Structure 1
Amino acid sequence: MAKILVLDDDQSNAEVIQLALEDQAFIVTSICHSDQLEKTITDFQPDLLVMDILLDKGDGRELCNIIKKNTGTGHIRILLITAMLESQALKVPSLADDIIFKPFDYKNLHQKVCRLIS
């Protein structure tokens, strides 16, 4: 069973995404503070990270690039989520495996997640 970590600084968003993914039988944990990311990755060892771009402390695209460039975490698939316009979101280069724009359909989220973890 795939393990998914959700990072969104809006707790209600994180919880809704977590519930939607758990409903699809994934093992999911969520956090709301970017400073918890490193420890949670170490402890939880996710297969996929679903991460918002606009975070409490930092930019999800930059955190994504740090994770992807690290030999210990570079294998983790990353799906960025954002309410930004596509042109804004793509201004900062990112090594993310995919991106989804808010508001999104949970069926689309599920399809992207399944593709990334297969």
Structure 2
Amino acid sequence: MNSIEGIKIMLVDDEPHILQFLELGLTNEGYVVKTALDGMSAVTLAQDFQPHIAILDVMMPGMDGFEVCRMIKKSGAQTSIIMLTAKDEVEDRVKGLTIGADDYVIKPFSFEELLARIHARLRNQFPNMFNEVTYGPFKLDDRKKEFVYHGRILELSPTEYELLKFLVMNNGIVMSKGMILDRVWGYDFQGEENIVEVYIRSLRDKLNDKEHQVIRTIRGSGYRVDFP
């Protein structure tokens, strides 16, 4: 990832120890961080702070994270929103995505996973803030919609490009088929989950990943990109 100087992140959670932990970690990473303990404070803070990323806990007393998300998006802000949820339920994911959330993280989560999600949102929503980005053997230039792998430009369809980008930018994290469908095909996709398998197979062919060492299948869970 290129320089993150000046990138602002707003954290919203009613649990002070979570806020403290995340604030310390993200500040050490170089982000400018501000926090709020409740929904109303978050809405006011978002107007004044204008964060690039807002990380919102769903379950808060009074105004919950969904309502905060709705109000931030309604204001026209360019803030990218990541929801924190303790429930791995399709209804919660769909509700969040429908009202404008850009991603979600299921509690409990690792700090490294959250960082990967933040990096992915910044690359997707604010591509002009960064030049070409390197992830292991991959080089990604989102402005050109171009992937280079071990010095070789990959010939990818638009869907293959988006799928590989999602997996690479979340490298080391297992992505379920449902999560991939939400992010790459859209939450309203009406097709079969096996479309993911078809595209994974095609990507492996183009990466010459015959042993599935780059895009790994995690049985019963999904797929994970590793950098050998």
- TM-score, normalisation: structure 2: 0.48
Structure 2 segments unaligned to the other structure (5+ residues):
1-5, 124-228
Structure with the larger strand share: 1
**For 1:68, what is the secondary structure of its paired residue?**
helix
Deviation at 1:91, TM superposition (A): 5.8
| Cα distance in 1 for residues equivalent to 2:35 and 2:111 | 17
In the alignment, residue 85 of structure 1 is paired with which amino acid?
Answer: D
2:50 pairs with 1:54: no
Rounded to whole Å, the distance in 1 between the matches of 2:57 and 2:92 is 11
Q: Deviations over 1:12-53 (max 9, x none)?
A: 111111112112111111111211122211222211100000
For 1:79, which of 61, 77, 82 is the aligned residue?
Answer: 82
C-alpha distance in structure 2 between counterparts of 1:108 and 1:23, whole Å: 16
- Which residue does 1:22 correspond to in 2? 27
Q: Say yes or no: does 1:101 pair with 2:76.
A: no
How big is the shift at 1:11? 1.0
**Which amino acid counterpart does residue 106 of structure 2 have in structure 1?**
F
The worse-fitting range, judged by mean Cα deviation, of 85-94 and 20-29 is: 85-94
Shift of the 114–34 alpha-carbon distance from structure 1 to 2, 3 Å rule, reads same
Higher mean displacement: 78-87 or 90-99:
90-99
**Alpha-carbon distance in 2 for matches of 1:35, 1:66:** 10
Shift of 1:88: 5.1
| Residue identity (%) | 26
Between the two proteins, the alignment pairs up a number of residues equal to 116
Contact residue 79 and residue 100 of structure 1 kept, 8 A: yes
Q: Aligned match of 2:7 in 2, 8, 29? A: 2
Aligned to 2:134: none
Segment of structure 1 superposing worse, 8-17 or 90-99: 90-99
Structure 1 runs (4+) greater than 6 angstroms displaced: none
Distance 1:109 1:49 in 2: 12
- Which residue number corresponds to residue 75 of structure 2? 70
What is the RMSD of the two structures over their aligned residues, measured on CA atoms?
A: 1.6
Q: Which runs of 5+ in 1 are unaligned?
A: none
Which one-letter code corresponds to 1:78 in the other structure? I
Does residue 35 of the first structure (1) align with residue 40 of the second (2)? yes
Name the larger-Rg structure. 2
Work out the CA distance in 2 between the residues paired with 1:88 and 1:15: 29
Which of 1 and 2 has higher RCO (CA within 8 Å, sep 6+)?
1
TM-score (norm 1): 0.88
The CA distance in 1 between the partners of 2:9 and 2:66, in whole Å, is 18
- TM-superposed CA distance for 1:67, in Å, is 1.5
- What letter is aligned with 1:114? H
